Structure 1
Amino acid sequence: MESIIKFENFSFKYMNQSHPTLKNINLEIKKGEKVLIAGPSGSGKSTLGNCLNGIVPFSKDGGFKGTLKIKDIEPYERSIFEISNYVGTVLQDQDGQFVGLTVGEDVAFIDENNCVSREKIHEDVDVALDLVKMKDIRNKSPQELSGGQKQSVSLAGIMRSPAEILLFDEPLANLDPESGRRAMKLISDIHEKTGKTIIIIEHRIEDVLEEDFHRVVIINEGEIVANDSPENLFKKDIFRKNGLREPLYIEALKYAGVDIKNSNIYPLEKSVNEENKNKVKEWCLKYKEHSKEIKKDILSIENISFSYDKKKELLKNIDFSLKEGEILALLGNNGAGKSTLSKVITGIEKEKKGDIKLFGESLKKVGIRKRGETIGYVMQNPNHMITQETLLEEVKFGLKIREIDNIDEKAKEALRICGLYEYRNWPVTSLSYGQKKRLTIAAILALNPKILILDEPTAGQDFRHYREFMNFIKSVANRGVGIILITHDMHLALEYCDRAIVLCQGELIGNEKPSIILSDEALMKKANLKETSLSKLGKCLGISPEDVMNTFIEFESFEVKNNG
């Protein structure tokens, strides 16, 4: 196959940085290949993508060394419009993607630019939206959509691109688990049917590699540290060394004593044999589940219902409690009502029926500002929260308006916790999407809330920062703070949450331990949740999926913690 992309000794440095973000990149991608580019936050993987699609240097200035060629052009010497004929892109930040006033107009944009007939445009838009299950929102404004719906519409739009190369920057970031699985399947179908070159930039290794890839390119600190098939890289144990997470089933096999280097382990079905089955069974017997101390309720949601009009209830008789020191996962498909519920709890929206009680006291007459003193809320999209120019100013802002003492030190400590202290004087505009997420979390943590609601807190975070942050969240919970995590990440719910509640079409359909929720096939299907590879491993080996998941949690909690 001929090369369609070629980097030769390529380096790039942003104007406001002292060191290059990309260093001596030598990479060749063949026409028709499907390649995953992975790396920790700040590794340079998104910058590499931006060099391909023209965002660098047309939106972000910097200096180049070496060469980059896409087919017969050097992208940084052409216009961004010319480059779009070679590289079609789905951005990580969906709000920067939309150009139409409605979903239909946005998906039709490429056809309109190519002077396609009106009848053909309508047909193409219907086909594209139907494939991503978004046909019924064709006439909605993009601003009305949830993060997951925006991502799905972006996928529909890119399907209309005539470009030979399709670049997806973190396509799973805001999708519910089942929608993410469908999105990856859709991308694979596009690849198979069109023969286009597919490049995906992601750090969610397990979800992405459920589909076949020719290669995985791992970038760390601006350099390519690995470039090989997924199976070979799993055997080299290179993912964890570079701040990335392997599929959970591979971690479980390692914990159970399976010789990964000399075994077939990818895909999952290849790992099924009698020896592995016996090792996993012995492992499950060794680690028994430990019960947690039951604490009193800190927040009570009592038969809450909510609607914007009288026609459709977005929340219907929601009833649950949050205990002191509990980490509660709020799960469900895109549009299930998760973000709406959090807005009602914080007072951004007012319930139509029911009551919310904090420490046993009703919040009916308590406004947003007063609730904000005890209930911290971090939105899904960081761009909706950031108001200041530098990181330090952003974290100090909330402390200032509340006239809290020791503002400077508290702000710096919050930045240290979230791994952003070294960037404290940087302009916010220079941050990646994932770093902006951490900044908004730091700003809320500095206020020392009693209840913390985090909407997709780990979206866009690499494994190292994910683990550091979630360990911090556990330490916050251990001090008695109640935490609600609105998440599509089944791994997070399983490993870090004491309990999970599940919403579907505004109704509460599950309220149990995460391992029980994620073993209930009917419930998962109804709520667009996705089975973890741990559960699949259990089924393949003839072991209870719940036993495998609970053993994994206990092993991580006790063995890994105690042995560092």
Structure 2
Amino acid sequence: MRPSSFQANQQGPQQAAPIIKLQDIQFQYPGAENMALHNIQLTVQPGEFIAIAGTNGSGKSTLCKCLNGLIPNYYVGDLDGSIEVAGLIAAEETVSSLSRKVAYVFQDFENQLVRPTVYDEACFAPLNYGFSDYRERGLRALSMLGIDHLKDQWIWQLSGGQKHLTALAGALSLDPEIIIIDEPVAQLDPFHARLIYDKLKLLNEKHGKTIIVIEHHTEFIADYCNRVVLMDSGTIRWVKPVHEALSAVDELAELHILPPQVTLAVCTLEAASGKAKSEDSSPYPITIDEAAPYFEKMLKSSITLSDVPTDKPISNNELIKQPLITFANVSYSYKTIARTMHPVIRNMSISFYEGDRIALVGNNGAGKSTLLKLLSGIRRPTEGLLTVCGHITKQSSPELLSDFVSYIYQNPEEMFIEDSVRKDVEYFLKARGIADYHPFVDEILERLRLTALQDRDGRLLSGGQQRRATLAIGLAMRPTVMLLDEPTASLDAASRREMTEMLAQLQDHVKSTIIATHDMQLVAEWANRVIVMHDGCVALDTDERSLFSHVAILKQAGLIAPQIALLSQRLGFEPPCLSVNEFTARLIRNINPSNPFEQEEITVGSN
């Protein structure tokens, strides 16, 4: 039996006049064949903390843009139905008047940053609304998010995560009743992701703000939200309390949404024992605090190291004498507006080898993206020597290095320069004058399931489709080294699983793959080497299993282990587990060593 305490705190705030009420909403974009929103009915009470979940393209962002007037005043189309927000009839209001009630932070948040410095951006909205205390409002918003030390920084100097925090500060400065954030943690390191949600929780519980997040990461939904709105193909499939919502494992799996890892672990173990979850049974645990007592009751003896292979493989350094990439005392700095030099990479010496699957991790601003740009030749070291595939980057043009290195940008749209996916994939081959490339392009498009999309403009594809298209562009360059910046950012579970599988397939085509990521689950499941960066330096160079034992370095770099690794550490597993399947396998072996765990028979969903 699962503990019944999981049923507590499922109900939202007491019923009152709704702060949001949508009735019979229909919306269709110009030229679209299908409705983007269809028969939407939704009521939100003041002070709720709601997550909107669903796959890419299910209508989540479109729904939220109806709440602040962007639809239909900016994004035109056919809108029908009744929308009431904070006592206002949306059809009678403007984007300007609604934005005083509803703050919105976009998924593509960089497009809403309009001022030169962080402080200017935070003050911009209250200044334009005529608030005499606009300076104090801006500073207070920056302080709430812990970025007041960045107030004099130029926007263009910031990392992606720092820009995201700045956009949120600009929204908070108006003191809105409703705060909507589209993918709040997509480009943040785990520490700042948790910080964002802690601040949203404070705004919700202390100041009574109504919070709506569009979120793919169900662990955050479990820890912070009280209700979940599940969208599917432009409709609301259901609205449920968070425990009930995240316990609907089979239904979520049908829509390619992954419940929290601890929930999957319980579900997997019950499937292994032949139990079937009935409709009247208590919800599954969805947080570590809830899951730990459940698993502690199952343990009859301590988990030992014998459950996991402990022989450390021979390193690439021992197998291959010649590295593909060598940093020798490399530093990179840029000149600020004040004509001072700002260091980003500091005296780095490290080598990368064939067979490396490297994850660059660290807090926002640690230098991960800059490191990738140095490798691609987009940036050149200000000091030291960087050698890539036998070429000194200071003496080589980016065009020359592109024969060996493919760089996939953090923002997929920056990779599209033609009006179709096929033309974008062909672009490099045509520019290099390679003959008879069409069969090769056909093969890449087929491998990445892009054949049906090859005539579409890449900028108009969904997030997951864009990621696949950019990977095809990179593979068409036949690189020796593949570089990817945040390859799983903003992807739903299905698209993220596809990306992980595609990264695994790269071994057949490239000699080394290097990704910069905040996705610690991706690190645990894919990488065989992890470089932890902090303040422009290498703080740790280790393997994926040893990574999570370096507690002090993880804390310094703003990193938090995946939920299943944290749970296994809490239960005394040493070393910690890196996936749900590994966790359940070790647990069953510990409980009943004579009955080996058959992973393929009981796997539910994905890790």
* Distance in 2, Cα, partners of 1:457 & 1:109: 32
What is the letter of the counterpart of residue 239 of structure 2? N
Partner of 2:235: 223
Contact 1:287 1:555 in 2 (8 A): no
1:277-319, Cα deviation, whole Å (9 max, x unpaired) = 4289779966657876755343333332222258443212323
* Distance in 2, Cα, partners of 1:399 & 1:229: 52
Partner of 1:169: 182
Displacement after TM superposition at 1:469 (Å): 1.6
Partner of 1:185: 198
Q: 1:547 to 1:137 in 2, by over 3 A?
A: closer
Question: TM-score under structure 1 normalisation?
Answer: 0.90
Displacement after TM superposition at 1:337 (Å): 0.9
Q: 1:275 to 1:127 in 2, by over 3 A?
A: closer
Query: Percent identity between the aligned chains?
Result: 29
* Distance in 1, Cα, partners of 2:478 & 2:173: 47
Alignment match of 1:269 (pick from 265, 273, 289): 289
Larger Rg: 2
Contact 1:36 1:215 in 2 (8 A): yes
Q: Give unmatched runs, 5+ long, in structure 1.
A: none
Asked whether 1:252 is paired with 2:268, we answer no
What is the letter of the counterpart of residue 356 of structure 1? L
Question: TM-score under structure 2 normalisation?
Answer: 0.84
Asked whether 1:452 is paired with 2:482, we answer yes
SS in 1 for 2:487: coil
1:396-434, Cα deviation, whole Å (9 max, x unpaired) = 333332233455555565455555554443445534556
SS in 1 for 2:417: coil
Asked whether 1:6 is paired with 2:26, we answer no
* Distance in 2, Cα, partners of 1:479 & 1:407: 16
* Distance in 1, Cα, partners of 2:138 & 2:255: 40
Counting only pairs closer than 5 Å after superposition, residues 437-516 of structure 1 correspond to structure 2 as 437-516=467-546
Partner of 2:35: 20
Alignment match of 1:70 (pick from 76, 85, 102): 85
* Distance in 2, Cα, partners of 1:19 & 1:280: 57
Asked whether 1:397 is paired with 2:427, we answer yes
* Distance in 1, Cα, partners of 2:354 & 2:77: 49
Contact 1:272 1:540 in 2 (8 A): yes
Partner of 2:573: 543
* Distance in 1, Cα, partners of 2:111 & 2:26: 26
Alignment match of 1:298 (pick from 300, 312, 324): 324
* Distance in 1, Cα, partners of 2:355 & 2:521: 20
Partner of 2:595: none
Q: 1:447 to 1:361 in 2, by over 3 A?
A: closer
Contact 1:517 1:523 in 2 (8 A): no
What is the letter of the counterpart of residue 228 of structure 2? V
* Distance in 2, Cα, partners of 1:240 & 1:290: 35
Displacement after TM superposition at 1:457 (Å): 0.8
Partner of 1:278: 299
* Distance in 2, Cα, partners of 1:559 & 1:182: 36
Q: 1:523 to 1:450 in 2, by over 3 A?
A: same
Q: 1:287 to 1:450 in 2, by over 3 A?
A: same
Displacement after TM superposition at 1:511 (Å): 0.6
1:36-75, Cα deviation, whole Å (9 max, x unpaired) = 0011111111111122222222332222343333244443
* Distance in 2, Cα, partners of 1:494 & 1:205: 18
Alignment match of 2:65 (pick from 26, 30, 50): 50
Mean alpha-carbon deviation: is it higher for 14-23 or for 294-303?
294-303
Partner of 2:9: none
SS in 2 for 1:81: helix
* Distance in 2, Cα, partners of 1:75 & 1:429: 30
Q: 1:292 to 1:77 in 2, by over 3 A?
A: farther
Contact 2:221 2:242 in 1 (8 A): no
Contact 1:417 1:472 in 2 (8 A): no
* Distance in 1, Cα, partners of 2:245 & 2:146: 34
What is the letter of the counterpart of residue 224 of structure 1? I
Partner of 1:146: 159
Counting only pairs closer than 5 Å after superposition, residues 27-176 of structure 1 correspond to structure 2 as 27-76=42-91, 78-117=93-132, 120-176=133-189
Contact 1:14 1:21 in 2 (8 A): yes
Displacement after TM superposition at 1:474 (Å): 0.5
What is the letter of the counterpart of residue 272 of structure 1? A
SS in 2 for 1:380: coil
Mean alpha-carbon deviation: is it higher for 2-11 or for 437-446?
437-446
Alignment match of 2:361 (pick from 315, 331, 356): 331
Counting only pairs closer than 5 Å after superposition, residues 302-451 of structure 1 correspond to structure 2 as 302-308=328-334, 311-359=341-389, 362-406=392-436, 410-411=440-441, 414-415=444-445, 417-418=447-448, 420-432=450-462, 435-451=465-481
Q: 1:247 to 1:404 in 2, by over 3 A?
A: farther
Q: 1:70 to 1:559 in 2, by over 3 A?
A: same
Contact 1:284 1:548 in 2 (8 A): no
* Distance in 1, Cα, partners of 2:41 & 2:253: 23
* Distance in 2, Cα, partners of 1:448 & 1:320: 25
1:65-105, Cα deviation, whole Å (9 max, x unpaired) = 43333244443553222221332101111221112222111
* Distance in 2, Cα, partners of 1:184 & 1:260: 34
Contact 1:497 1:514 in 2 (8 A): yes
Contact 1:325 1:479 in 2 (8 A): no
What is the letter of the counterpart of residue 396 of structure 1? E
What is the letter of the counterpart of residue 485 of structure 1? I
Q: 1:138 to 1:411 in 2, by over 3 A?
A: farther
Alignment match of 1:236 (pick from 235, 242, 248): 248
Q: 1:137 to 1:200 in 2, by over 3 A?
A: same
What is the letter of the counterpart of residue 177 of structure 1? P
What is the letter of the counterpart of residue 270 of structure 1? E
SS in 1 for 2:181: strand
Contact 1:249 1:268 in 2 (8 A): yes
Aligned-residue CA RMSD in angstroms? 3.1
Contact 1:256 1:280 in 2 (8 A): no
What is the letter of the counterpart of residue 564 of structure 2? L
* Distance in 2, Cα, partners of 1:455 & 1:436: 14
Q: 1:560 to 1:421 in 2, by over 3 A?
A: farther
Displacement after TM superposition at 1:177 (Å): 0.9
What is the letter of the counterpart of residue 252 of structure 1? A
Residues matched between the structures, number:
560
Q: Give unmatched runs, 5+ long, in structure 2.
A: 1-15, 586-597
Partner of 1:532: 562
What is the letter of the counterpart of residue 359 of structure 2? A
1:88-127, Cα deviation, whole Å (9 max, x unpaired) = 101111221112222111111222123222xx33222222
What is the letter of the counterpart of residue 267 of structure 1? T
